[in-house]
Structure 1
Amino acid sequence: MPKMFSDPDALAEEIIRDVGPRLVVGLPLGLGKANHVVNALFDRAAADRSVHLTIFAALTLEKPRPSTEIERRFITPVIDRLFGGYPDLAYARALHDGTLPPNIEVLEFFFLAGRWLRNARAQQNYISTNYTHAASYLQARGLNVIAQLVAKRVVDGVPRYSLSCNTDTTLDVLRAVRARGGALPKLIAQVNSELPFMPGEGDLAADQFDAVLEGPASEFPLFAPPSEPVSDTKYAIGLHAAGLVRDGGSLQIGIGQVGDALAQSLIVRHRAPERFCELAARLSPGLPPPPETGRFDKGLYGVSEMFFEAFLALIEAGILTREADGARLHAAFFLGPKAFYRALRAMAPADLDRIRMMPVSFTNELYGDEELKRRARIDARFVNNAMMATLLGAVISDGLDDGQVVSGVGGQYNFVAQAFALEGARSILTLEATRGTGRKTISNILWSYGHQTIPRHLRDVIVTEYGVADLRGKSDADVIAAMLAVTDSRFQGELMARAKDAGKLPRAYEIPAAHRANLPERIAAALRPAREAGLLPMFPFGSDFTDVEQRLIPALQLLKEASASPLALLGLAREGLLGAAPTADDKACLARLGFDQPKSFADRVFRVLVGGALVRTRAA
């Protein structure tokens, strides 16, 4: 049986006595990190340079950090409400502050998006890897400790522990070490009472663990990022992607709000196919309807490295009903808002048993039980997000051309490879056609780029808010034409000229008329009736934001966009000064930001600008 601890410092001393002064500690991706354990080890190593601590991690979760005064006023109460009791990870704080001791190194293979840009220590210690290879890299580094958050259950007086949110790499590591007869790393558990106890392969007997930290002092609220609002752009992408999903097939969804948009679009299609077809026609006037528009009478089966609340919504809507090996969904890790964790804890055992948490080698690869996986993964659609793409179909999802890493490869390449290995499967990579940088709007579809995540020889399906580019098996000229059709029209001419100058597109080629009005205003107009009818809500699966905060979000987004242009700011100021009188809701929003009684000139300016943004969004 494991040794029981209530004091993380005492547990850290025990680990060092057992393992020695050279610690190689593996932490699960995302939610499953044993914060108190790793913080105690960090403090111990920071105080004693004879201890060398290597931390191998991924997706280090951190509280949001506001960068402007208005962001601070808006997000600080949200942080206090949702993350107030979450213990910060000491190694992350030291990396940000530049105070990481020389005897401590932190290696990550997946970053919280954008969080570690221009941080030299983090960038230099990033390891580029597929999610499925992380376990082998851990072992090659000499992994000797795994510190994981677990759920606890007592059965007939005997405790059991669930790996719950992170079966991903832990099970793969343990299996690989046992297979070669090596010394198992010390498996350290930290019990968290909020963590759902998930059945399946991660349900382990107590004797699998070397030590367990449990007690009131080490309890903390789970990291629960609130759902973000789904924009028109993301809904358009979700609707296009939903028209590619076959009834009776399989579904994987990657991290991001496109997943919420896709799930809600599938629900609209299932419940009201005629409305879905109307939406598709409005989004793509003059073009053929999407190939898949009917209800999900056979149902879908989910196989996804990430499990989040959108999958619960698909289960509740009667869409995720096809079972494989007794499960509607196989997943490797989960993360979500507080309501998501509550739903899992409250779920009936029979329903929870149809959600199986598995090693990442199961979800992301075909190797091992290959025939079983092939039978289950019928007509698979692997939907993942990207940052940019080239006209020739290469995709950029994790880094910049100067080598700076934004996030990580994760499982994206794994799922692209599966799409080509499985009969009837497709890889669907989604991206917004443009992004704003300061006063400029930039195309996310480029002629070329100095970094690629998915090479063009694995090009398959790319979806933007303007439509679907089916690239598999196409010639370079046809690929370029398909990509231009889903490019924002403000950039089509320049990109087409680049392709022609390179000899990759006929000089006589012209973009078809149906694709020459690819502009945000057209997308907003196409979706407005569905938005007003409640088919495409801002928060399709609920929100941890208050009603006042939900009212503020689009106004603050509008203000952020306007801040890149003095003329746009003047327009908002005019609305704030001369527009309609503030409503009771407007006054509540201003009070939420502390602008109801401005105390300085800056406060008065902000009050006018926010007031103008509220007027503008109310009229939209």
Structure 2
Amino acid sequence: MIANMPIRRLYADTATCAQQVADALGPDLRVAAPLGLGKPHGLLNALYALTAADTTRSLRLYTALSLTRPRPKPGLEARFLEPFLRRHFGTDQIDPQYAIDQARDALPPNVAVHEFYLQSGALLHSASAQRSYISQNYTHVARDLVLQEINLLVQLVARRDGPDGVHYSLSSNPDLTLDFLRQTQAAGKPRPLCVAVVHPDLPYMSGAAEVPESFFDIELQPETSPPLFALPRLPLDVAEYALGLHASALVKDGGCLQIGIGALSDALVKALLLRQQSNSAWRGALASLDAGGNTRTLAGWMGGTAPLAAGLYGASEMVMDGFMHLQRGGILKRRSWDNLALERASVAGRLNPGTPGGHYLRGAFFLGSRELYAWLGETEAADPDAIDMCPVSQVNQLYGDHQTLAALQRRGARFFNTCMMATLLGAAVSDTLEEGAVVSGVGGQYNFVAMAHELADGRSVLLLRATRAGRNGLESNIRWNYGQTTIPRHLRDIYVTEYGVADLRGKSDSECVEAMLSISDACFLDALCAEAKAHGKLAPDFVIPAAWRRNRPDCLRQSLAPLQRKGLLPTFPFGSDFDEVEQRLLPALNWLKGCAISWRGKWRLVKAVVRPGDAVAGEAEALKRMGLTAPVTWKDRLQQRVLLAALRNTP
């Protein structure tokens, strides 16, 4: 497989390293690269450029979650985002060029890119990406990669020099590398050439993520490195806060927590912090939202309403900012030991909590803000046992010789994840549109659901907004049926929307339909009910309870108004990467985006542009930030008027 070895072990120049690796491996490169943060963009770009320039070569890349900076559309979006992106990511950030070209369907014919998880929505309209996407459970990726004859593995790493020599840390991505190489060896396949690309800012994580110098065949340590890719922190609205409050009551003290990424997960984290630190206010808000008492009844035997005295243990495929905030808030603190006798002693209360080796967070990869990366490095330095970054096979499944221990560590597990839609019969739609276009991928969602059903006291909790803005106006995210599903209805468990909790486990079809109706938006109750009756899944004489008619946004705002007045539900609960003027612009730009979706919205916008209304505070600063204080061209004048209409029509 390797044509002209040996080659040098140490490189400082990316182009030289890429050329020699390509020459050594021959004309056909079959490359594996980690998902997300662990992808060395500079080296991949150099290999891609070499291949694109030489039709005698070919490159087949297997990876996931290729992170690229947003590419704003011309107009107001570009005026807002371009200065922010330069400030947030830095001018020397490097995007993977193959991902940019694939989004434009401009990959050269001798390059193929296969991903099992796409940056959400980024490649929805790329025919190349849609054809090349591989649908896989996260835990099956390493197994399937063995069949692809991979001859090169590249990974971003942290490096440490010590008295016993050089060590590397797989840091953000031990998830698939360790499993893949182990399974390659077990299958009797040749080990690929392994290249470590050192990044000075990547946190050095020890434990399973640490490997000896001999693990990699080549080290590339460029003279300069771009900043680590950092996700901007998200705003939360009233509906997301309501959803988070309902979900936080399902968490059991002393249990185990899996959470994903996005606004709904942030809302859950903030709600857990309120439950811990402002318990009476949290209880009052939950009581106001949960007028019928359903969520609190479930909390009585499944979760809880008291602060989390024993704390939680985190076992999550992804480590994100939420875990940092939970640890700082005194919630993420229950430790587990990778020794069955010690773990049993801990459960029985016979183990000294200071016993070495206990960790309170286990993950397979991490991705988030720069604050998260700094926290991980600081935590590793102060408490090396605290966080265990390890293979995904140790996080996302119970199978294997660790099953008894893993089940004990995950006692009281709540696997929270998000989905796009759900059906009245309990199937989840998380990754694919009805016509088959992939939005993201299944990732580990099926794994979480499966583990929840296998564990004696585990539960799968899927979070979704009850509605979304569509081309014809407001649409329900709870449907009678859908052409593509991620989780089948026979694995239904718990769903949470801003209107409450639907517990579907072990329920009949009619009971499931009623539970899902109870957390649907009131606008769609009659149509959903009629459809369920037409298919024989609801009794003909079933009547929608009056309480469900209160499932409306205005009722949510009324219920959460006391918490908002106390400042407990800030728009940016964990700080913002946007300055004050940008935060004023965001709702206005979102209003414009909402108007553009439907013809009703476009008509509303036209009327607002014709009669924008009275001036509002902060208007001059907003125009200055957008470069529209003194428009010159007719396009600029139109953009100024549209922006003024948006500013004057949003709170």
- TM-score scaled by structure 2? 0.91
- State whether structure 2 residue 350 is matched by structure 1 residue 344: no
- State whether structure 2 residue 315 is matched by structure 1 residue 306: no
Q: Distance in 2 between matches of 1:101 and 1:602?
A: 36
- State whether structure 2 residue 161 is matched by structure 1 residue 127: no
Q: Distance in 2 between matches of 1:388 and 1:429?
A: 10
Residue 395 of structure 1: CA displacement? 0.6
- State whether structure 2 residue 614 is matched by structure 1 residue 607: no
SS across alignment from 2:196: strand
Contact 2:157 2:170 in 1 (8 A): yes
Q: Distance in 2 between matches of 1:289 and 1:105?
A: 48
Deviation digits for residues 335-362 of structure 1, max 9, x if unmatched?
A: 1122222332334623353011111111
Residue 537 of structure 1: CA displacement? 1.6
Shift of the 289–450 alpha-carbon distance from structure 1 to 2, 3 Å rule, reads closer
- Paired residue for 2:605? 569
338-347 vs 104-113, which deviates more? 338-347
Deviation digits for residues 119-166 of structure 1, max 9, x if unmatched?
A: 111111110000011111111111121111111222127322111111
- Given candidates 282, 285, 309, the residue that maps to 1:279 is 285
- Given candidates 243, 250, 254, the residue that maps to 1:248 is 254
Q: Distance in 2 between matches of 1:526 and 1:601?
A: 45
Letter in 1 for 2:278: A
Contact 2:179 2:393 in 1 (8 A): yes
Q: Distance in 2 between matches of 1:289 and 1:438?
A: 33
Identify unmatched segments of 5+ residues in structure 1. Answer: none
- Paired residue for 1:513? 546
Deviation digits for residues 540-559 of structure 1, max 9, x if unmatched?
A: 11222112212221222123
- State whether structure 2 residue 452 is matched by structure 1 residue 419: yes
Residue 277 of structure 1: CA displacement? 1.1
- State whether structure 2 residue 60 is matched by structure 1 residue 26: no
- State whether structure 2 residue 263 is matched by structure 1 residue 257: yes
Letter in 1 for 2:329: A
- Paired residue for 2:212? 205
Shift of the 48–573 alpha-carbon distance from structure 1 to 2, 3 Å rule, reads closer
Residue 570 of structure 1: CA displacement? 5.2
Deviation digits for residues 205-239 of structure 1, max 9, x if unmatched?
A: 2111111111224x111111201211222211111
RMSD over aligned Cα, in angstroms? 1.9
Deviation digits for residues 387-430 of structure 1, max 9, x if unmatched?
A: 11111111100001211100000000000000000011100011
- TM-score scaled by structure 1? 0.95
Letter in 2 for 1:308: M
Letter in 2 for 1:202: A
Contact 2:239 2:556 in 1 (8 A): yes
Letter in 1 for 2:9: K
TM alignment of 1:91-110, pairs within 5 A: 91-110=98-117
SS across alignment from 1:516: helix
Residue 459 of structure 1: CA displacement? 0.3
- State whether structure 2 residue 566 is matched by structure 1 residue 559: no
Q: Distance in 1 between matches of 2:640 and 2:553?
A: 28
- State whether structure 2 residue 469 is matched by structure 1 residue 436: yes
Shift of the 602–320 alpha-carbon distance from structure 1 to 2, 3 Å rule, reads same
Contact 2:295 2:500 in 1 (8 A): no
Deviation digits for residues 269-318 of structure 1, max 9, x if unmatched?
A: 01122111111122222334521211000100000001111100000000
514-523 vs 497-506, which deviates more? 514-523
- Paired residue for 1:215? 222
Q: Distance in 2 between matches of 1:566 and 1:122?
A: 31
- Given candidates 562, 568, 584, the residue that maps to 1:529 is 562
Contact 1:2 1:206 in 2 (8 A): no
30-39 vs 315-324, which deviates more? 30-39
Residue 177 of structure 1: CA displacement? 2.6
SS across alignment from 1:216: coil
SS across alignment from 2:207: coil
Letter in 2 for 1:238: G
- State whether structure 2 residue 36 is matched by structure 1 residue 6: no
TM alignment of 1:151-230, pairs within 5 A: 151-156=158-163, 158-217=165-224, 219-230=225-236
- Paired residue for 1:494? 527
Identify unmatched segments of 5+ residues in structure 2. Answer: 1-6, 338-357
Shift of the 574–44 alpha-carbon distance from structure 1 to 2, 3 Å rule, reads closer
324-333 vs 561-570, which deviates more? 561-570
310-319 vs 204-213, which deviates more? 204-213
- State whether structure 2 residue 146 is matched by structure 1 residue 113: no
- Paired residue for 1:410? 443
SS across alignment from 2:208: coil
Contact 1:576 1:610 in 2 (8 A): no
- Given candidates 316, 320, 335, the residue that maps to 2:328 is 316
Shift of the 592–47 alpha-carbon distance from structure 1 to 2, 3 Å rule, reads same
Q: Distance in 1 between matches of 2:494 and 2:223?
A: 50
- Given candidates 34, 52, 60, the residue that maps to 1:46 is 52
Q: Distance in 2 between matches of 1:163 and 1:59?
A: 17
Letter in 1 for 2:362: H
Q: Distance in 1 between matches of 2:549 and 2:396?
A: 38
Contact 2:205 2:380 in 1 (8 A): no
- Paired residue for 2:362? 330
- State whether structure 2 residue 424 is matched by structure 1 residue 388: no
Q: Distance in 2 between matches of 1:41 and 1:163?
A: 21
Contact 2:116 2:135 in 1 (8 A): yes
Q: Distance in 1 between matches of 2:575 and 2:211?
A: 33
Identity of aligned residues (%): 44
Letter in 2 for 1:610: L
Contact 1:2 1:207 in 2 (8 A): no
Letter in 2 for 1:507: P
- Paired residue for 2:244? 238
Q: Distance in 1 between matches of 2:551 and 2:92?
A: 46
- Number of aligned positions between the proteins: 614
Letter in 2 for 1:158: G
Residue 612 of structure 1: CA displacement? 4.3
- State whether structure 2 residue 385 is matched by structure 1 residue 353: yes
Residue 180 of structure 1: CA displacement? 4.2
Q: Distance in 2 between matches of 1:260 and 1:119?
A: 30
- Given candidates 295, 301, 314, the residue that maps to 2:307 is 295
Q: Distance in 2 between matches of 1:532 and 1:56?
A: 50
SS across alignment from 2:318: strand
